[in-house]
Homo-oligomer: A and B are copies of this chain.
Amino acid sequence: MVQAVRHTSVNSDPESLDDSFGLHPAFVDEVDDALVNEDKDRVRKLVSDLHPADLADLLEHLEPKQCRSLVATLKDQFNPEVLPELDEAVRDVVMREMGFEDFASALTQLDSDEAVYIAGLVDPSEREAVFDKLPAPDRMQIEASLEYGEDTAGRLIQRELVAVPDYWTVGETIDYLRAATSLPDEFYVVFVVDPRHRPVGLVELNKLVRSGRPVLMRDIVNPDMELISPDMDREDVAYLFRQRDLVTAPVVEGSGRLIGQITIDDIVDVIEEEAEEDIFKLAGVGDSNLYSAVLEIVRSRMTWLVLNMITAVGASMVIGWFQPTIEKLVALAVLMPIVASMGGNAGAQTLTVAVRSLATKDLDSSNAARIIGKEMLAGLINGLLFAVIAAVVAYIWFEDLGLGLVIGAAMIINLLVAGLAGITIPIALDKLNIDPATSSAVFLTTLTDVVGFFTFLALAAYFLL
Chain A interface (Cβ within 8 Å of chain B)?
7, 10-11, 14-18, 20-23, 25, 28-29, 51, 53-54, 57, 60-61, 63, 85, 87, 174, 177-178, 180, 183, 186-188, 204-206, 208-212, 226, 229, 231-233, 236, 239-245, 247, 264-265, 267-269, 271-272, 275-276, 278-280, 282-285, 288-291, 294-295, 297-298, 301-302, 304-305, 308-309, 312-313, 315-316, 319-320, 323, 326-327, 330-338, 340-342, 345-346, 348-349, 351-353, 356-358, 360-368, 370-371, 374-375, 377-378, 381-382, 385-386, 389-390, 393, 397, 427, 430-431, 433, 445, 449, 453
Contacts and interface: CB of A to CB of B under 8 A. Distances in A.
From DSSP, what is the main secondary structure of chain A's interface residues?
helix
B280 A309 contact: no
Nearest to A329: B327
A21 to B, nearest CB: 5
Contacts of A280: 352-353, 356
B305 A346 contact: yes
B430 A17 contact: yes
Contact of A431 (B15, B187, B229, B374): B15
A109 to B, nearest CB: 16
Contact of A61 (B10, B231, B367): B367
A272 B275 contact: yes
24 contacts: A11-B233, A14-B433, A15-B431, A16-B431, A21-B240, A25-B366, A53-B245, A57-B361, A61-B367, A174-B209, A177-B210, A178-B210, A209-B209, A264-B264, A267-B268, A271-B272, A290-B374, A294-B378, A294-B381, A297-B374, A302-B382, A304-B345, A313-B393, A316-B334
Contacts of A272: 242, 271, 275, 360
Given A15-B431, A374-B297, A283 B349 contact: yes
Contacts of A205: 188, 205-206, 208-209
Contacts of A427: 17
A10 B335 contact: no
Number of identical protomers: 2
A281 to B, nearest CB: 10
Nearest to A285: B349
Contacts of A352: 279-280, 282-283, 285
Contacts of A335: 316
Given A22-B364, A268-B241, A377-B294, A305 B386 contact: yes
Of listed A304, A313, A326, residue having the most chain B CB within 10 A: A313
A180 B208 CA distance: 14
Contacts of A337: 312, 315-316, 319, 337, 340, 449, 453
Contact of A178 (B212, B244, B267): B212
A239 B22 contact: yes
A366 B242 contact: no
Given A333-B333, A431-B16, A433-B16, A204 B177 contact: no
Contacts of A15: 431
A366 B20 contact: no
Nearest to A180: B210
A236 B298 contact: no
A305 B316 CA distance: 24
A398 B174 CA distance: 83
Nearest to A377: B294
A229 to B, nearest CB: 8
A378 B187 CA distance: 45
Given A204-B186, A243-B53, A320-B334, A298 B25 contact: no
A213 to B, nearest CB: 10
A362 B290 contact: yes
Given A178-B211, A345-B284, A264 B268 contact: yes
A9 to B, nearest CB: 9
Contact of A346 (B21, B301, B360): B301
Given A206-B188, A275-B272, A304-B349, A290 B330 contact: no
A389 B312 CA distance: 12
A326 B316 contact: no
A124 B242 CA distance: 28
A327 B279 CA distance: 41
Given A264-B268, A340-B337, A18 B365 contact: yes
